[in-house]
Structure formats: C-alpha cells, structure tokens
C-alpha cells in the first residue's frame, strides 16, 4: 500500500439547479467565504492560484492549483495540484430532479513532511479529518445556494 496516496470521493445532493451550483463552484476565490477549512485562496493569474487549508489538526496544507478543466456544458471542473498535496481534484455535476448531484473526486499524494512521517499511524485520523472538512463544505455550499436559489 502506498501510505502517502489518498483517493477521495463524495456526492453532495444539492437543492439548486446544476448551472447555479457550477457558477458557485467555479469561483474558487470565494471558497473561504463558505467553506470554513479553506482559509485562503490567492490568485496567480486567471486560471491558477494557491490555497491554504486547515481543519481540525493544527497544521496548514498549502497547495498550488491550476485549472485543467472548466466545461460549463458538461458541468465539470478540474484542477491539478502541487505543493503539500500533488494530484488532481474534480467536480462533476448532474441534474437530479430540481436539484443537483455533485460528485467530488480527488487523488493526491501527500508531500508535506510531517504528514509523511505520520502516514501509517495518522492515516485513520487524516481520513476522518477530510470527511469532516467535506461535510462542512457541503453545509456551507447549501447555505450559499439557499440564498441564491430559495427552495
């Protein structure tokens, strides 16, 4: 097993049309306003930037992100990441009744030295930490969407 590699998958059921959800998700610079663990996003050009994340554990992850896909017709957003995490992340949105099913997928290798040293004993905690971060992101996005698209 590669203890430094992680694959994540989450599905968020949202009460807003896919185009509305896409419009919120494609504005990464706004994430700190609704996703508590996304502490900072600093643009570096039109399709790149740096993001700083912190969840329950007292460490930051700093990731360079470059947009590698933005398809509003297929409703797919994808980034390539470098820095403390190396890999990719993707949102794929599908209509579900009057709402949206948002699939989040991520595959990364951890480069941050502290997390590499703690890879084996810390893995269950890192996975739980990511799950909590995703849950908070879903709550925050639902609040933003409720203001833009009242049910």
Which domains occur in the chain, in start order? 5-148 (3.30.530.20)
| Per-residue pLDDT tens digits of the chain, which is 151 residues long | 799 999 999 999 999 999 999 999 999 999 999 999 999 999 999 899 999 999 988 889 999 999 999 999 999 999 999 999 999 999 999 999 999 999 999 999 999 999 999 999 999 999 999 999 999 999 999 999 998 766 5
Report the DSSP beta bridge partners of residue 96.
99
Which residues contact residue 54 at a Cβ distance below 8 angstroms, ignoring those fewer than 6 apart?
37, 39, 60, 61
The rounded radius of gyration (Å) of the Cα atoms in the chain is: 15
With CA atoms as reference, report the closest residue to 3 among 88, 130, 122. Answer: 122
H or E stretch covering 22 = helix 18-25
pTM of the full predicted structure?
Answer: 0.93
H or E stretch covering 86 = strand 85-96
Both tokens of 151, joined, read 């049910």
- Look-up of token digits 């896909």: 69
Would you mind telling me the total number of residues written for the chain in this entry? 151
Q: Give how far the C-alpha of residue 102 lies from the chain's centroid of Cα atoms, to the nearest Å.
A: 11
CA distance 148 to 112: 37
Q: Contact 26/70 with Cβ under 8 angstroms? A: yes
For 11, the 3-state DSSP assignment is: strand
Helix axes 119-148, 18-25, angle to 10 degrees: 120
């Amino acid at each position: 097993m590669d203890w430094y590699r992680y694959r994540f998958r989450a599905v968020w059921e949202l009460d807003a049309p896919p185009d509305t959800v896409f419009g919120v998700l494609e504005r990464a610079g706004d994430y700190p306003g609704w996703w508590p663990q996304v502490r900072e996003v600093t643009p570096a050009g039109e399709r790149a930037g740096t993001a700083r994340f912190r969840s329950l554990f007292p460490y930051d992850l700093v990731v360079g992100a470059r947009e590698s896909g933005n398809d509003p017709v297929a409703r797919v957003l994808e980034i390539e990441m470098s820095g403390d995490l190396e890999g990719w992340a993707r949102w794929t949105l599908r209509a579900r009744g009057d709402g949206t099913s948002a699939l989040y997928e991520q595959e990364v290798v951890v480069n941050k030295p502290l997390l590499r040293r703690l890879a084996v004993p810390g893995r269950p905690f890192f996975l739980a930490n990511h799950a909590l971060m995703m849950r908070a992101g879903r709550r925050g996005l639902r609040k933003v969407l409720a203001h833009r698209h009242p049910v």
